[in-house]
Amino acid sequence: MKFGKRIKEQIQESLPEWRDKFLCYKELKNLISSSESIFVGLLNAEIEKFNAFFVEQEEDFIIHHKELQYRIQRLVEKCEHNEEMFREEISEMRKDIVNFHGEMVLLVNYSNINYTGLAKILKKYDKRRGSGLRSPFMQKVVGQPFFKTDLVSRLVREWETTMEAVFPATMAVVEAEGYERSAVVTSSGEGIFRNTVAALSTMREMRRGSSTYSAFSLPPLNLPDSDLVFRSVHLSSPIPIP
């Protein structure tokens, strides 16, 4: 699949309020024949856009992470000797926990797709213009805040561990129906759950080794526990995996 089509699909699969935060790939492609200063100017503006959005989301996630941890700890203390009460009340938090996890996965994908888009559009530029812009520019990109996903990836893994610990052992098999129906389906029919599955599929595809691997390729995906999402959707969700 051509990258222009892929990023268009990713934008449509993303949360509505995120859609104008992605790389303007088509606009950059149309500027390849313009002066380098105009092309680079838009690239820099795009990076500023990525950084501002990513940092804002990351800060919100840290706050939400602490709030959810506090709510769970209070619940544990309240239901210390009553496991049945704990399971009933933690199920009411499932929507918040699952949506939080899904949004973090989407942010990691946001970083990946925009990084990959920059690398690809610069490759096109160098090929068309006989330039050597890609290498020095991408060296700058890897130092940008939006590229540094270690913290968010760690939170994703932590909350997958939490979901497996605080929900019943059958959560991913039997009770995931509540995950899909009550937690993620929106009035528009595009919920975080479906978007998360699509994001994971894209990340794995982009990070899979191939004959075109280069110094600017992303490393293999390091979210192995995210198979929880795939198990849940296969067994309980009527929404087809993209």
Compute the distance between CA of residue 197 and CA of residue 38 in angstroms, rounded to an integer. Answer: 37
- Burial grade of 202 (CB within 10 A; 0-12, 13-18, 19 or more): buried
Considering only 1-5, 225-229, 231-235, which range has the smallest mean pLDDT?
Answer: 231-235
Helix (H) or strand (E) holding 141: helix 134-141
Residue type, 233: V
pLDDT tens sequence across 192-214: 556 666 666 666 665 564 444 45
Confidence of residue 150 (pLDDT cuts 50, 70, 90): very high
Considering only 16-20, 63-67, 219-223, 237-241, which range has the smallest mean pLDDT?
Answer: 237-241
Instruction: Report residue 130: phi and psi, to 5°.
Output: 65, 35
For every residue of 159-206, DSSP letters joined together read HHHHHHHHS-TTTTTTTHHHIIIIII--TTS--HHHHHHHHHHHHHHH
Backbone conformation region of residue 24, classed left if phi is above 0, alpha if psi is from -120 to 50, else beta: beta
